[in-house]
Amino acid sequence: MIGPPGAGKGTQAKELARLLELVHISTGDLFRDNIRAGSALGKRVEAVLASGALVPDELTIELVRERLRAPDCVRGAILDGFPRTLPQAEALSGLLAEAGDKISLAPYIKVSDQILVERLTGRRTDRRTGRIYHVKYNPPPEGADLEQRPDDAEHTVRRRIAEYYANTAPLLEYYRKAGVLREFDGELAIADVLQLIVAAARELRPA
Ligand code: AMP
């Protein structure tokens, strides 16, 4: 899944993984889990996440390399928030090639900047289920145990969007050249975006 922060990658990736019975790998979630658990990795990346900057490539690539080795990834995986830089994309292509595999689809979820800031600052996550809501556009159910990501504060959101344009946007060209990029209008309703991505995925891998 590729797109700016707030495009809906996490929301879509979770549903897509459920529908296609693939694992969902979010590097952001993996880093946050490590921070919560107080691991050595968590301690190294905590300040980076809080600032909205990107974690160094070597650390991130190693994390994904390890995760992709797990047996639950044999059928494939939905990668959410990775790769985010050209070196990460190249490393991922290399890792997959070693296993005789490749990226089959790079869904690009396109959303304009004004909407991103509003979406991110209104975003809340249910601690118990991991489901993502928006205070106005996708209100949580009664009794949800909500938290706000510390990096969803407005100044950090702006830094993350800037990081996206500087480091991640070049990947659009990388995957376009590889013939796997497909663009989706991320300003449509969540269910409509999902339906379009599922249809594109099913064309590749009939259910
Ligand atoms: P996300 O949950 O995808 O929005 O990621 C939250 C934060 O985790 C980012 O702002 C980065 O600090 C870090 N992060 C997640 N994925 C990556 C990645 N592929 N490369 C570098 N940093 C990442």
Q: Give a three-class secondary structure readout of 44-71.
A: HHHHHHHHCCCCCHHHHHHHHHHHHHCH
The per-residue pLDDT for 126 is 95
Residue nearest to atom 8 of ligand 1 (CA): 28
pLDDT at 206 over 60: no
Q: What is the CATH number of domain 9-204?
A: 3.40.50.300
**Euclidean distance between CA atoms 42 and 167, whole angstroms:** 23
In the residue annotation, 84 being an active-site residue is answered as yes
Contact indicator for 45, 55 with CB cutoff of 8 Å: yes
Task: State the DSSP code for 82.
Answer: -
Instruction: Read off the tokens for 76.
Output: 């494939």
The per-residue pLDDT for 204 is 85
In the residue annotation, 123 being an active-site residue is answered as yes
**Euclidean distance between CA atoms 11 and 142, whole angstroms:** 19
Reduce the secondary structure of 128-177 to three states and give it as a string.
CCCCEEECCCECCCCCCCEECCHHHCHHHHHHHHHHHHHHHCHHHHHHHH
Choosing from 44, 67, 110, 149, the catalytic residue is: 149
pLDDT digits 0-9 by tens, 105-126: 999 999 999 999 999 999 999 9
In the residue annotation, 124 being an active-site residue is answered as no
Residue nearest to atom 6 of ligand 1 (CA): 28
**Euclidean distance between CA atoms 102 and 92, whole angstroms:** 9
- Compute, in angstroms, the gap from residue 206 CA to the centroid of ligand 1: 31
Q: Return mean pLDDT, the chain.
A: 95
Query: Residues with Cβ within 6 A of ligand 1?
Result: 5, 27-28, 31, 48-49, 52-55, 60, 81-84, 88, 151, 160
pLDDT at 207 over 90: no
pLDDT digits 0-9 by tens, 79-98: 999 999 999 999 999 999 99
